Structure 1
Amino acid sequence: MSISFLRLIRIANFPSAVSNVWAGYVLASAGKVDSVVFGIGALSSGLAYSGGMALNDYLDRENDATEHPERVVPSGKIPALAALETAIALLALAVLTAGIWFNRQSFYVMVLITAGVMAYDAVLKRYWPTAGIGMGLCRGLNCLFGMSLIGQINLSLLIYPAAMFAYIGALTLLARQESRSAVIEKAVKFGLFGIVVLDAAFLFAYGYNWQAAAGLGLLVLMALLSRMFKMT
Structure 2
Amino acid sequence: MNGMLQLLRPANLITSSADIIAGFFIASAIIGKDSLIINDYKILIILALSSMFLYGGGIVFNDYFDAERDALNKANRPIPKGLVSKNQAFALGAFCFSLGIYLSFFVNQFSSILAVGICCTAFLYDAVGKQFDYFSPFLMGACRGLNLLLGMSAFPASLQYAELAMIPFLFIIGVTVIGQKEHLGRNRASIIVGSILYLSALVYFMYSLIQFEGNWWAALIFLGLWLAMLLPPTYKAWKTQRPLFVQKAVKYAVLSLILLNAGLVAAFGNSWFALLLLPLLPITLGVAKVFRVT
Q: Secondary structure at the match of 2:157?
A: coil
Structure 2 counterpart of 1:175, from 173, 179, 199: 179
Partners of 1:35 and 1:28 in 2: how far apart?
Answer: 13
Structure 1 counterpart of 2:162, from 158, 164, 175: 158
Corresponding residue for 2:52?
Answer: 46
Corresponding residue for 1:197?
Answer: 259
Structure 2: runs of 5+ lacking an equivalent: 186-242
Q: Secondary structure at the match of 1:216?
A: coil
The 5 Å alignment of 1:16-31 reads 16-30=15-29
Partners of 1:177 and 1:62 in 2: how far apart?
Answer: 16
1:13-60, Cα deviation, whole Å (9 max, x unpaired)? 111100000000111111654321111110000000001111111111
After TM superposition, the score normalised by the length of structure 1 is 0.95
Partners of 1:228 and 1:127 in 2: how far apart?
Answer: 31
**Greater CA deviation, 23-32 or 60-69?**
23-32
Structure 1: runs of 5+ lacking an equivalent: none
Q: Secondary structure at the match of 1:158?
A: helix
The alpha-carbon distance between structure 1 residues 32 and 168, as it changes in their structure 2 partners (threshold 3 A), is farther
Q: Given residue 173 of structure 1, which amino acid in structure 2 is its aligned partner?
A: V
The number of residue pairs the alignment matches comes to 229
Instruction: State yes or no: 1:109 paired with 2:109.
Output: no
| 2:27/2:269 contact within 8 Å kept | no
The alpha-carbon distance between structure 1 residues 109 and 207, as it changes in their structure 2 partners (threshold 3 A), is closer
Q: Given residue 3 of structure 1, which amino acid in structure 2 is its aligned partner?
A: N
Structure 2 counterpart of 1:120, from 122, 125, 143: 125
| 1:143/1:161 contact within 8 Å kept | yes
Corresponding residue for 1:208?
Answer: 270
Partners of 2:108 and 2:119 in 1: how far apart?
Answer: 17
Q: Given residue 112 of structure 2, which amino acid in structure 1 is its aligned partner?
A: F
Q: Which structure exhibits the higher relative contact order, with contacts defined as CA atoms closer than 8 Å and separated by 6 or more residues?
A: 1
| 1:26/1:32 contact within 8 Å kept | no
**Greater CA deviation, 145-154 or 127-136?**
145-154
| 1:132/1:170 contact within 8 Å kept | yes
Partners of 2:259 and 2:91 in 1: how far apart?
Answer: 33
Corresponding residue for 1:217?
Answer: 279
Partners of 2:93 and 2:171 in 1: how far apart?
Answer: 26
| 2:149/2:159 contact within 8 Å kept | no
Corresponding residue for 1:85?
Answer: 91
Which has more radius of gyration? 2
After TM superposition, the score normalised by the length of structure 2 is 0.75
Corresponding residue for 2:73?
Answer: 67
| 1:10/1:231 contact within 8 Å kept | yes
Q: CA-atom RMSD, angstroms?
A: 1.2
Corresponding residue for 1:131?
Answer: 136
Q: Post-superposition shift, 1:84?
A: 0.4
Partners of 1:91 and 1:13 in 2: how far apart?
Answer: 16
